[in-house]
Amino acid sequence: MKKSLLALMLMGSFATFGIAATTLLDKATQEDIARHRAMATAHENAAKCLESGKSDEVCEKQLQVECKGLAIGKFCGMKHTH
């Protein structure tokens, strides 16, 4: 019984710490996190575009539209070899 209670208390404190850490992030960090998530979504959409059989040019244009204002460069902050 004591072990179960201790486990519940530890889980509660970890959950509280996790919530506190999230709220302690400054606005700039939160905005940076949001940009990274948006870029990741845009890249996932580009991968799905390519999987659907569309050309690289079409998918790159879609990526550029989705990433406008998010990252530096026309490849949404990421470029790789083909």
Domain range for 34: 2-67
Residue 78 lies in a domain: no
Residue 81 lies in a domain: no
Residue 60 lies in a domain: yes
Residue 77 lies in a domain: no
Residue 30 lies in a domain: yes
Residue 75 lies in a domain: no
Residue 64 has pLDDT above 70, yes or no: yes
Rounded Cα gap, residues 62 and 74, in angstroms: 11
Tell me the pTM: 0.62
- Number of domain units in the chain: 1
Q: Is 42 exposed, middle or buried (0-12, 13-18, 19+ CB in 10 A)?
A: buried
Residue 73 lies in a domain: no
Residue type, 33: I
Residue 82 has pLDDT above 80, yes or no: no
Each residue's pLDDT tens digit, 27-37: 999 999 999 99
CB 64, CB 74: distance < 8 Å: yes
Rounded Cα gap, residues 30 and 34, in angstroms: 6
Instruction: Report the percent of the chain where pLDDT is more than 70.
Output: 66
